[in-house]
Amino acid sequence: MYTGTLFIISAPSGAGKSSLIRAYLQQKDHHPAKVSISHTTRDPRPGEQQGEHYYFVDHQQFESLISKQAFVEYANVFDHYYGTSKSEIEQSLAQGINVFLDIDWQGAEQVRAKMPLAKSIFILPPSLDELENRLIKRGQDNADVIKKRMLKAQAEISHYNEYDYVIINDDFASSISALNAIIATASLEQPKQAIIHKQLINQLLQINK
């Protein structure tokens, strides 16, 4: 049976990572795919639903999962835990579903250590000026927060060379095409093709008597 591929996708805030993933999933002809849903100990925000945006758990439950090594990656951010369930990813991959994991470079480092077959993609902005413009246009942060995000962005960008693929998100349509190409390339790797076309390959290798 075809197994899915885990795609780690990282980018500084404002580079367009979430928009690219969302646009890919809205395409009608893509391979079955989903975004991994994280566990968190923070409270739900307005409109967030259990099991749709996050799995909301308390600190005791989360730490119990840590002790059971249930996460491929986790972090404590501003006194709240965030983590990605290993079993959920493995179940989706076993069903032939590609999984997108939207995490930072530190989380990506943890995932690579536990799931070395994962493919990683880093999304870069076309320039720092454009990145700042996008953050301003979003209208979600004040000037001080944007300044902090820009400082953090350069630190994050310095890890781009740890990834398998890089997409410069200048023209959005071109970036979607690049993402499609990366995903198609992963599906064409020999081990996956050997599984998908096992019967054909066996027939081709038979010696006529």
Q: Tell me which residue has tokens 């071109």.
A: 174
Decide if pLDDT at 73 tops 70.
Answer: yes
pLDDT 10s digits, 83-126: 999 999 999 999 999 999 999 999 999 999 999 999 999 999 99
| pLDDT > 90 fraction of the chain, expressed in percent and rounded | 78
Tell me the sheet residues that pair with 85. 71
Mean pLDDT of all residues in the chain? 93
pTM of this structure = 0.88
Contacts of 92 (CB under 8 A, 6+ apart): 4, 34, 36, 99
Domains located in the chain, CATH noted: 6-36+97-205 (3.40.50.300)
Q: Which residues of 183-194 are buried (b: 16+ CB within 10 A; e: fewer)?
A: beebeeeeebee
pLDDT at 208: 63
pLDDT tens-digit series, residues 136-182: 998 878 889 899 889 999 999 999 999 999 999 999 999 999 999 99
